[in-house]
């Protein structure tokens, strides 16, 4: 494999092809009226996938952390690196139905922004023979417990720096002005405490934020003073914090020990965008 270029270091390395289960645009044969449950996991290093299904209807039934409370119809889904979503796709029209990408600007830096729209990821050939009728989705999938009032709040500010080093320009990706240091504890938390984490992206690129050893619930997003609530309650392990955006989430660590939180783009995490939380009993 060739070494990372400067563009790879800045944006996170993006491959030339997007594969689904190791194949380029694999085909699926289904009868008209079929519903299929698809689990999508963005396992790319740094490609943001804004997904749509042409000629098939998507219903979201799960997130990173399992089932939602109820199914939610979706025209498009933004899946940042490491995010997951679980869908039921209804193939009701004969012909081809394609899982495709729409344009999404994640704040690409420098030249060589890859073409991100109209990539055919998966194609279904829908026959005109009617499938056996399928049962409707249940109205309720499972309850999701809401957190109580947080007793601790934290603020994590993401920034990018560029410095001239003897080896050339070097990017830095920082949380609260600091690059990752394995020997430093950034946050001391107590097991069982409900915590509000405010992640503030003051950088020029989106950063998919991941927290280890637990899950969280998204509370709200804020941009230019405008607050928006998420369309549904879900357990999450990774959330995209878009450039210029503040994302508030609530979480609780149950197990004592030290662990990391970080941007899930490997180059960003390697160049500093990671911290240590020490959870005490
Ligand atoms: Cu990042």
**Average pLDDT per 10 consecutive residues for the chain, totaling 281 residues:** 91 95 97 97 97 98 97 98 98 97 96 92 97 93 97 98 83 96 97 98 97 98 97 97 98 98 97 98 96
Tell me how far the alpha carbon of residue 223 lies from the centroid of ligand 1, in angstroms.
Answer: 18
CA gap 205, 208 in Å, rounded:
10
* Beta strand extents in the chain (DSSP E only): 27-32, 34-41, 49-54, 57-63, 66-74, 77-79, 84-91, 95-102, 120-130, 152-165, 168-175, 187-190, 194-201, 207-211, 216-223, 226-228, 238-241, 246-252, 257-263, 274-280
Tell me how far the alpha carbon of residue 107 lies from the centroid of ligand 1, in angstroms.
Answer: 11
CA gap 69, 66 in Å, rounded:
10
Tell me how far the alpha carbon of residue 263 lies from the centroid of ligand 1, in angstroms.
Answer: 5
Tell me how far the alpha carbon of residue 179 lies from the centroid of ligand 1, in angstroms.
Answer: 13
Supply the pLDDT for residue 164.
82
Tell me how far the alpha carbon of residue 193 lies from the centroid of ligand 1, in angstroms.
Answer: 27
Tell me how far the alpha carbon of residue 207 lies from the centroid of ligand 1, in angstroms.
Answer: 4
Supply the pLDDT for residue 119.
97
Tell me how far the alpha carbon of residue 6 lies from the centroid of ligand 1, in angstroms.
Answer: 15
Tell me how far the alpha carbon of residue 118 lies from the centroid of ligand 1, in angstroms.
Answer: 24
Supply the pLDDT for residue 170.
82
Tokens of 156: 């994590």
Tell me how far the alpha carbon of residue 177 lies from the centroid of ligand 1, in angstroms.
Answer: 14
The continuous run of DSSP H or E covering 142 comes out as none
Tell me how far the alpha carbon of residue 164 lies from the centroid of ligand 1, in angstroms.
Answer: 20
Supply the pLDDT for residue 149.
96
Tell me how far the alpha carbon of residue 206 lies from the centroid of ligand 1, in angstroms.
Answer: 6
């Amino acid at each position: 494999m060739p070494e990372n270029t400067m563009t790879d270091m800045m944006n996170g390395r993006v491959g030339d092809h997007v594969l689904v289960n190791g194949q380029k645009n694999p085909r699926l044969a289904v009868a008209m009226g079929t519903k299929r449950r698809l689990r999508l996991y963005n396992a790319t290093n740094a490609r943001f996938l804004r997904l749509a299904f042409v000629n098939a209807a998507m219903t979201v039934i799960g997130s990173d952390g399992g089932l939602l409370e109820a199914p939610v119809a979706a025209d498009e889904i933004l899946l940042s690196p490491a995010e997951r979503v679980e869908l039921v796709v209804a193939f009701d029209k004969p012909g081809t139905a394609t899982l495709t990408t729409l344009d999404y600007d994640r704040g690409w830096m420098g030249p060589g922004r890859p073409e991100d729209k109209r990539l055919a990821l998966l194609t279904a050939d829908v026959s005109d023979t009617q499938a056996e009728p399928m049962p409707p989705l249940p109205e309720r999938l499972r309850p999701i417990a809401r957190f109580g009032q947080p007793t601790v709040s934290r603020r994590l500010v993401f920034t990018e720096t560029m410095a001239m080093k003897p080896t050339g320009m070097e990017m830095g990706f920082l949380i609260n002005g600091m690059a990752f240091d394995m020997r430093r504890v950034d946050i001391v938390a107590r097991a069982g405490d409900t915590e509000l984490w405010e992640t503030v992206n003051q950088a020029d690129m989106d950063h998919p934020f991941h927290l280890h050893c637990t899950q969280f619930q998204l509370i709200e997003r804020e941009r230019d003073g405008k607050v928006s609530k998420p369309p549904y309650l879900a357990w999450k392990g990774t959330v995209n914090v878009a450039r210029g955006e503040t994302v508030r989430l609530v979480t609780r660590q149950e197990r004592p020990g030290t662990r990391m939180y970080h941007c899930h783009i490997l180059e960003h995490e390697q160049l500093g965008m990671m911290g240590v939380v020490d959870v005490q009993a």
